[in-house]
Amino acid sequence: MAGKEVFTLRELENMSSDDLYALFENIPSAGESDEQSNDQPDQPVRVDNSENIAGDEAFSDEKDNIPLSILRERELGKRTTRTKSTAFCVTNIKQFTEETGPKIPNDLEKPVDFFYTCFPELLIDKIVFETNSSFTPTSAKEIEIFIAMNILMEIKRLPSYVDYWSSREELRDHYISSAMSRDRFAWHLGNVHLADNSVMPGRDSPNYDKLYKVRPLLETLSETFRSSYGPSKRPSIDKSMIRFKGRSFLKQFLPLEPIKRGYKVWVRSDENGYVCQFQIYVGKTNN
């Protein structure tokens, strides 16, 4: 093999590493003297592609152009890449050690006590104060009943809220209708207030808030939701839709979502679905 000058690609690929080293040693280097070069002209090793041209379909033209150095590296089983050494340091990531799960007192006895952890009595008093400042007086007890009725109506749905007081026995809900009269419930639907509208900033004010009328409710719930539960280390942030088909400048239309019309809300939730924080989308803002 030492005297052979022409090799096929198949022969080169079948060579051992020792044969390849011996082959490369016979190639003249650039550092040899001119005298030696004149006496013995360079005779580079040639690759015979005639075997491929004859019809060997196992080797393509692209493979014929592979340099010998690459073939050598394939034989050795690895390719040498020269790169500049870069100094780097590994940052120690702090382990997640926060407490997860509900954060509620252990002395709660009644179901309403759990409700107060997210919907505190101070918020109810706020609703009573703002409502009584302009309309027929109501009480904290009546507001609590009104909220409870709305929760039950969401669980047990009828075509219209007036059907809960229907004269037809098959539609009438005796539990809800006995808690409050229909007219009083309708009055609360139209008159319950959470903020003082007389001091609401105008549209030209830098403090203008599209959600001013419900801002106390949103801030309180967002705070109690966050403080009543310790989220895990894998939270999720995504948009959610609250179904609404009425008239509102905040209503969004998302044709590709399961709920196409309603209020869009950005939600940070735990992996089990608990909502830790939320923010109602009010359109594009400057901040």
Nearby residues of 138 by Cβ (< 8 Å), 6 or more positions away = 128, 131, 132, 188
- The domains of the chain are located at 6-76, 232-287
The DSSP call for residue 162 is G
d(CA 128, CA 118): 18
Total-model pTM: 0.56
End-to-end CA gap in the chain = 77
Structure tokens of 181? Answer: 């009269």
Query: What single string gives the DSSP state of each residue in 192-219?
Result: --SS-GGGPPPTTSTT--TTGGGHHHHH
d(CA 186, CA 179): 13
pLDDT at residue 85, rounded to an integer:
56
pLDDT at residue 268, rounded to an integer:
92
Residue 26: phi and psi, rounded to 5, are: -80, -10
Q: Distances in Å between the alpha carbon of 271 and those of 30, 100, 234, 235, 274?
A: 67, 11, 6, 6, 7
d(CA 84, CA 64): 31
d(CA 2, CA 17): 14
d(CA 138, CA 135): 9
Task: Give me the residues of the chain with pLDDT under 50, please.
Answer: 31-42, 45, 47-60, 79-80
pLDDT at residue 37, rounded to an integer:
45
State pLDDT tens for residues 89-146.
Answer: 656 777 777 878 888 788 888 888 888 888 888 898 988 888 888 767 889 999 999 9
